[in-house]
Structure 1
Amino acid sequence: MNIDNKIKGSLVSKKKSLSMTLFEKLSKIIESISHPAFVSLAMRFALAIPFWKSGILKWDGLFQLSGTTIYLFSNDFMLHLPGGPFPFPFPPVTAFLSGVGEVLFPALLFLGLGTRFAAAALLLMSIVIQLTIPAGWPLHLTWAAMALGIMAWGPGVVSLDHLISRALRSRSISLP
């Protein structure tokens, strides 16, 4: 009986080690796919794209807002705050700043330049958009989560921020 228990224990141990080995291999594959450099790049692009697309639609030319954009900010878009909704203050100025921000900040995210600043600006824009279109909260929450992730973990190694940081560090080391 003692020998049978040892054999059974050995078989159970081998099954456990085989399943752990398979689990470890799968974990390594998943880990390699989700490399931090790839994840940070994907988050930057995923956050930038919807803002860029929206921003491009606001313009009829260089620094020329479309009539539709000015109309929407003047008549349709409202801030849904307690006691409201309230119209946006100075609609043409607000529309212009929104259009500039929706093009500038995504461009910075694509380049990985001033990345945390750009992500913070898009987080703020996401909050204002949420106050304007409350029913869009599932999408706005996703944008906010990506912006917070970028703000927390930075741009990653595939970015101008990283290259600039490396250049500045190497320069400070070589200074007398």
Structure 2
Amino acid sequence: MMTLKKLVMWLSGLMGKIEICYLAMAGRIIMAAIFWKSAMTKIAFNEAGLGEFSLAQIWNVVTLDWTVASGTYTLFEYEYDLPLLSPELAAHMALAAEILLPMALIFGLFTRYAALAMLAMTAVIQIFVYPNLWTVHGLWAIALLVIMAKGGGKLSLDRLICKKCL
């Protein structure tokens, strides 16, 4: 029979074997999904019935077979109301970032810089848009900081391009 001390030691040893590359990969996938889903709420597809995270949806985004949803501009004009940027420019900038940065994270390409850009967006969202959601944005920030600190890991294009970059 295993004593409590042995159980704690065994579990500690097991947890200590978790490699950071798997945590970074999980963070990359989660943060990519969050920002991608946000982008998908801001566009209108020319083809109806595309499933969430489906290959057809991704293909339509990549081939630019979509338009900015009319409600997106209203959202940026009345709800988000960012300083220094027109609602139209802010909508297009946010949409471009919410499409390109998740792709960079998924492929692990310029991973640290994509995470940095997402952290900056998270700060803008926290400060100017939804200041009461600091617990959610705090979790996003932690995931993004891990990615920034450790890079894309073993399972990234960054590693293929520049092993010293990791």
Range class of TM-score, shorter chain = 0.7 to 0.9
Q: Match of 2:44, SS?
A: strand
Secondary structure of the corresponding residue to residue 135 of structure 1: coil
Partner Cα separation in structure 2 for residue 165 and residue 30 of structure 1: 29
TM-score by length of 1: 0.73
Deviations 1:47-106 (A, max 9, x none): 211111001221124362110111111222124xxxxxx5x6211111011011011101
Correspondences of 1:151-162 after superposition (within 5 Å): 151-162=148-159
More helix by percentage: 1
The runs of 5 or more residues in structure 1 that have no matched partner are 1-17, 80-85, 170-176
What is the RMSD computed on CA atoms of the aligned residues?
Answer: 2.1
Distance 2:37 2:151 in 1: 23
Q: For 1:57, which of 41, 45, 52 is the aligned residue?
A: 41
In the alignment, structure 1 residue 118 sits paired with structure 2 residue 136: no
CA distance in 1, matches of 2:79, 2:6: 59
Identity across the alignment (%): 35
- Whether 1:47 aligns to 2:31 is yes
In 2, Cα distance between equivalents of 1:51 and 1:70: 18
* Residue in 2 that maps onto 1:139: 136
**Shift >3 Å, 4+ stretches:** 18-24
How far apart are the structure 1 equivalents of 2:19 and 2:125?
31
Aligned length: 143
TM-score (norm 2): 0.77
The aligned residue for residue 102 of structure 1 is 98
* Aligned twin of 2:12: 27
1:75–1:22 distance in 2 versus 1, CA, 3 Å? closer
Question: Whose RCO is larger (CA < 8 A, sep 6+)?
Answer: 2
